[in-house]
Each structure stands twice: as C-alpha cells, then as structure tokens.
Structure 1
Amino acid sequence: MRRVYSIVVSAGLAPALILGACLVLAVSPTLVPAELAGLVRYGPFLLALLGGVIGWWFNRGRAVFVMALLLICYWLLVGNGAGISAEGLAFLQIATLYLVPLNLLFLGFTAERGVLNPRGIARMLILGLQIFVMLMLAGQPDVGSALYRVLETRFFASTGVLGTMPHPAMIISAIAVVLLLIRHKPLETSFAAAIIAIDAATVMGAGVIQYGYLAATGVVLAGLAQEAWRMAFVDDLTGLPGRRALGHAMAELGNQYAIAMLDVDHFKKFNDTYGHDVGDIVLKKVARELARVGGGGKAYRYGGEEFAVLFAGRTAERAQEPLDALRQRIADNKITPPEKSKPVSVTISVGVCERDEDTTDPWAVLKSADQKLYRAKQSGRNRVVI
C-alpha cells in the first residue's frame, strides 16, 4: 500500500492525473451532472480553503500563500466585480495571468519559512499589497484601461493558441514552468502544473476557467500532500528514507532477508575537529553512496551517523559483496574540509544479520546486525562483519 501511495503522489504523476481529469471535464462538460455544476464552480474555493488549512497545520507557508493567491485570482475572474468598471475588471482579469506565474516562480525559489512568523507574515502582507494596488488601479477606469492595453501586448499578429494570451504572459509562464520543473520537488512541480492549468484554461476560453482553477488548486493540494509525506518519511539532510519509512519497509519483509547496520567511523571526531558543517558533508557523502548500494539493497537513515540497509530475499552472505564494495568506494573517495588543503578519509563499519528460525522478528534481526556492527568497530573498523 505504501508503494502505491508513493507512486500516486509522485512529483509528476499526480499533477498529470489531475490535469488530465480536469481537461476531460472541460472538453466534455456534459460529464458533470447538473446537480454537481455548482460544485465545479465553487470547487476551487473549497480546495483553496482546504489546502490553506492543511498548509497552516503543517506550517507550510508557501502552500498557504499559493492557495490564498489562487483563491483571490479565481474570485477576480468569476466575481461580479461590484463597484469596478468594465475596464477595471478587464485589467484585473488579465493581470492574473502575470500575477500567478511571477509569484509561484518567486515562491519556488525561496526557502520554507512557516506561517506565523515574521517572514511568513511578510509574505502574506506582500500578497495583500499586490491585490490592494491592483484593486486601487482597477478602481480608476482610465488607469485600468491603460494598464490593460500594456498587459495585452502582442509582439506580432497571431491566431490560434498564440492569439489567446498576451505574449509577455506566455513567455513568463513558460520560463516559470521550466525553472520550477528543474527544481524537481513535489511542491515546486505542483506550482508549475498550476500555471499550466490556468494558462490552458485561458487558451480554451473563459467558459472553462473554473476547470483551470479546479486543476490548479487540486495539483497544489496534491503537492502539499506529498510534502507532508516527505516530512514524515524522508530524512531532510541526506534525502534517504528515514526511520519511519524503515519501520514500514520492515513490516513488508518476507521470510528471507538480511539487514545491515552501519555507521561512520570516528564521526564524533569529525564534528569536534572540523565542525558540524563538515559532519553534515560526511553524512551526505555516505548517503549518496548508500543510495546506490546495489545487490537489491535499500538504504535508510536510522539516526545520527547510523544507517540501515534492507536486502529482501537475500542472505547475509549474498549481501556482503555489495556492502564491501560500498565500504571500499566510501574509503577511496576522500573529502577535503572547507578551508583545509589536506583530504580526509571517511570509512564505515558494517554489521549484517539475516532472518533465521531463531530470529524471525525484523527488529530482532536489526538488533543482531547492530551487535555485529559493534564487533566490526571492536575489530578495527572499516570492515563488514556477518
């Protein structure tokens, strides 16, 4: 079940499924029963509010900001524009084509700072200021009309898709999508998909804009779900699955498997001599090698400088070869601490144990592997003990 979930919420598949579903509904609106038409119209509001609440709960300030932005932009598009002239309303609607990609691109390249803190609050104030200025300008018909003509710029006469959106907005959106996808992170990927959804709906016509924002809020909600999943199951420093993911994986092991426990030799010395920054570099280096351990092994960060590797369907003897190759690669690849000219060797010690008739519980096998890790340390380090 965990594997299926991780696939469904993967950075690319979930947005593609949501975008595809909304595209089908936009092309064939008769698929939506008349009783649910109101749900489609108000769905973006509901999803934006839901995403904002979840983002607030998990302290994901960027998600809260994006959901607020999408909610406001959708309201500008479908609201009745009370008190705003037709010229001002046209300016507000075309401005959303610039507002969304620029803000999502900015957020995609800023660090997560939470919600209820000075930086999180500052983000919301910036959004509020943008909307306030837009509404102030839209309230003056002459100004709104002039700004509309500026934003509606076309570099050349065009028909078809190129004639449906202002060319600067198309260029900004394309750049934002490419740069966000390069980040290859779930939330940033969802931002890119949201831009695609809104632009696609704009190209298809005003009559399907609700499907564009339904898809946009849906993909950001999916990105937020994967972000929450990563917080629970992936170690931030090394990028390896964490201890909770290890527990899930161990519960799925069959009747034959081996578990390896390893840690970095003299890790405390690295921290004391070179500082915790260098210690982090060492852990990342070991994790990069562990990610390609081979032999069917799957690596996890157990805690501190300790890591675990699961070998499903293998004996300890068969797991020894890829582990010894891993140990050798790490030992051969020295690191040079910042502001130091002399490279430093990094080595690991490994203990391996397999399931047998006397030790059938995976956690008991892991404990036995940990004991063999201790023996590897006592025997001189930089070795694999089975």
Structure 2
Amino acid sequence: MRRAYSIIVSAGLAPFLIMGACLVLALSPSLVPGELAGLVRYGPFLLAVLGGAIAWWFNRGQAVFVMALLLVCYWLLVGNGAGFSPDGLAFLRIATLYLIPINLVFLGFTAERGVLNPRGIARMLVLGLQLFVMVMLAGQPDVGSALYQMLDTRFITGGGVLAEIPHPALILSVFAVVVLLIRHKPLETSFAAAIIAITVATVMGPGAIQYGYLAATGVVLAGLAQEAWRMAFVDDLTGLAGRRALGHAMAELGSQYAIAMLDVDHFKKFNDTYGHDVGDIVLRKVARELSHVGGGGKAFRYGGEEFTVVFAGRNAQKAQELLDALRKRIAENKITVPDKNKTVSVKISVGLAERDEDDTDPWDVLKRADKKLYEAKQAGRNRVVA
C-alpha cells in the first residue's frame, strides 16, 4: 500500500485519477448513491477547508489563497448563500471563468511568501477585494447584466464547446494552463488541472459545476501532497531522491543487490578555490550523470558530496562495470567555471559491496561499501573498488 501511494504521488498521477473519477461521476450521476449526494455537493467545501488548513500548516500561501478562491466561488455559484437573482448568478458564473485563471497564474508565478506576513496579507487583501467587487456587481441587476453582456463574448458562431463558454475566457484558460504546466512543479501543475476541471464542468452545464469544483479542490489537495512528498524525499539541489527515500528503498530490497557509495574527489578544494556556486554546479553535474547510471541503479544523495546507488537484483560485477563507465563519463565532461574562463575536470571515487549470505541488514552492506570508498581514496582516488 505504501509503495502504491508513493508511486501515485511521486509520478503525479493523483490529479489525473481525481479528474477522471469526477468526470465519470459528472457523466453518470446515477453512480452516486442517494445517501452520498450531499457529500458530492459539499465535498468542495470540505476539501477546500482541509487543503487550506494543510497548506497553512506547511506555510504554503499560494495553496491557501487558491483554496480560499475556489471555496468562495463555489459557494457563490452553488451555495447561493447571498440570494442572488438569476441574472446575478449568470454574471457570477461568467466572472469566475475569468477570475480563477487570472489569479491562479498570478499565484503560480509569484514566489512563495507564506501567509501571515506583509506580502501574504497584501495578496489576501487583493484577492478579497476582487471577490468583494464581483459580489457587489452581481447584486446590482443593471450593472451585472451589462457586464455579463460584455464578458459573454463570442468571436465566431458555432455549436459545441464554442457555444458554452465565452471565447476570451476560453483563451485565457488555455493560456493559463499552458504557462502553469511550463513551470513543471507539483502545485503549479495542480493549479492548471483545477482550471481544466472548472472549464470542462462549465462546458458540460450547470449540473456538472459541483463535480468540477470537487475535482479542482481535489487536484490542488493532491498537488499539496505531492509537494510535501517532494520536500520529504527529494533533494532540492540535485533533484535526486534524498536520504529518507533511501531508507524506504533499502527496506524493500530482496535477496540480491549491490550498493555503491561514492563522492566527489577533492570537493572541498572546488569550494575553496572557485566558491560554493561552482561546488553546487559540480554536485548537479554528478547527480545528472548518476540519474542515468543504468542497469536498474537508483541514485540517492546521501549527504554533502556523497551519493549512494542501489542496484536491486544485481551483483557487484555487473554494477562495477556500470559504475566504472559512469566514472569515465564524469571525468571526460569538463565543467566551465563561470567568470573564470576556465574548465575543470570532476572525478569521483566509488566503493561497492554486494549482499552475501550473512547479511540481514542492507545498512551493513552500505557500511561495507563506505569502507570500500575509503580504500578507493587511499589508493589514489578516481577509481571503483569492490
């Protein structure tokens, strides 16, 4: 179960599963038992509150404000707590199609600043002001009707999708989805999925709105889960899995495996001579090569300039061939030092050990690999010792 959850979250599959499930329910409402109809209707409220609380706990202001925006928009459209007229509701439905993508793009492209600080409070006030103005305009029949006519613009006539949504709103939504996906980050991707969910629900008609917002709040909550997973298991600098992920991988190893410990030769000299920025470049270069080690090897950043590679189902002989090829590739590809007009070589030392019949704990194998790494350094560095 834990492995399945890890695969779904780490691969970013949760938003697609959530949106797919909500689409099926929207197309076939009869699948929802009568006693669960209320859960579907009030689900967006529950998910928005839950997601907002989790985001607040992790100090992720972007997600807090997105959840607040979705919650208020859904309440205005479905809850109808303020008792708007039909014209007012029509205006609100159109206005949210502009308001949501604009704010999600803005929040997705601004740096994370938390919640209860001057910048976070300023964003909260700006968002609140937009919602307040939208509500006030919806309450004025003449003004709301005039704005509705302006926002409900069609550039070309036709049926199908083009007839169900204002064309400027559709263009805005497509633009917002594209630029958010370019960011290629869990939260921003979930924002793009939320826009898609609400746009599709709008096209499907008023009866699908609750499913659209259910999917939107669900995918943002899933994005938060993926972001939390990334923070816990992925190293920010190198993009490799971190030490906590290594612990999980070690617990799942079978009866045959090999483990390598490696580090960058003379790494302290790189930092002292060229600065920590160049040191970071070196670590990212090594990590990039490690991610393509091959042979089923999974690379992890162990700490500092040390890395671990786990070869599940492989013996030391096969792993040594792959690691030696890796060592040569890293040494052959030189690094250009910024502002120095100079290239430098990066070399690594590797220690390798495999499980034998007496090993019951993978960490003991890792310790042996670490001793082999020490032997590689004592023997002159830039080599693999098994």
- Taking structure 2 as the reference length, the TM-score comes to 0.95
| CA distance in structure 1 between the partners assigned to 2:254 and 2:79 by the alignment | 57
2: distance between equivalents of 1:140 and 1:374?
A: 77
Q: Please tell me whether the aligned partners of residues 259 and 354 of structure 1 are also in contact (alpha carbons under 8 angstroms).
A: yes
Bigger mean CA deviation after superposition, 356-365 or 280-289 = 356-365
Distance 1:370 1:10, change over 3 A: closer
Letter in 2 for 1:133: V
Q: Report if the CA contact (8 A) 2:76-2:82 is conserved.
A: no
Distance 1:189 1:340 in 2: 38
Q: Distance in 1 between matches of 2:50 and 2:344?
A: 50
What does 1:106-255 align with in structure 2 at a 5 Å threshold? 106-255=106-255
Matched, 1:260 2:255: no
In the other structure, the counterpart of 2:91 is: 91
Any idea what the Cα deviations from partners look like across 1:141-198, whole Å, max 9, x if unmatched? Answer: 3332222222111112222211000000001111222222233332222212111111
Q: 1:369 to 1:208 in 2, by over 3 A?
A: same
2:325 aligned residue? 325
Q: 1:352 to 1:177 in 2, by over 3 A?
A: same
Contact 2:12–2:226 at 8 Å: present in 1 too? no
| 1:273 corresponds to | 273
Question: Does the 8 Å CA contact 2:44/2:213 hold for their aligned counterparts?
Answer: yes
1:21 alignment counterpart? 21
2:299–2:308 contact (8 Å) kept in structure 1? yes
Q: Which runs of 5+ in 1 are unaligned?
A: none
Aligned equivalent of 1:75: 75
1:133 is displaced (CA, Å) by 2.5
- Look up the equivalent residue of 2:105 and give its one-letter code: L
Aligned to 1:50: 50
The percent of aligned pairs where both chains have the same amino acid is 82
The 5-angstrom pairing of residues 318-357 of structure 1 reads: 318-357=318-357
Closer, same or farther: CA 241–87 of 1 in aligned 2, 3 Å = same
How many angstroms apart in 1 are the aligned matches of 2:122 and 2:238? 30
8 Å contact 1:48–1:71 — kept in the other structure? Answer: yes
| Matched positions, count | 386
**1:178-219 CA-partner distances (Å, limit 9, x unpaired):** 222233332222212111111111111112211110111111
1:14-57: per-residue Cα shift (whole Å, max 9, x none)? 22221121112112212222222221111100110011111112
Residue 158 of structure 2 aligns to a residue whose secondary structure is coil
Checking the alignment, whether the CA contact within 8 Å between 1:44 and 1:214 is kept in structure 2 is: yes
Q: What amino acid is the match of 1:181?
A: L
Secondary structure of the residue that 1:9 maps to in structure 2? Answer: helix
Of the structure 1 ranges 137-146 and 199-208, higher mean CA displacement relative to structure 2 is found in 137-146
Structure 1 length-normalised TM: 0.95
Whether contact under 8 Å (2:240, 2:299) holds in the other structure is yes
1:10/1:186 contact within 8 Å kept = no
Q: How does 1:52-67 map to 2 (within 5 A)?
A: 52-67=52-67
Pairwise CA RMSD of aligned residues?
1.8
Deviation at 1:2? Answer: 4.1
1:282-330 CA-partner distances (Å, limit 9, x unpaired):
1111110000011221100001111000011222222111101111111
- SS of structure 2 residue aligned to 1:149: helix
The 1-side partners of 2:233 and 2:88 are apart by 48
Q: Secondary structure at the match of 1:323?
A: helix
Instruction: Give 1:11 shift.
Output: 5.0
- Per-residue deviation at 1:85? 5.2
Q: Distance in 1 between matches of 2:230 and 2:224?
A: 10
Whole-angstrom distance in 1 between the partners of 2:358 and 2:19: 52
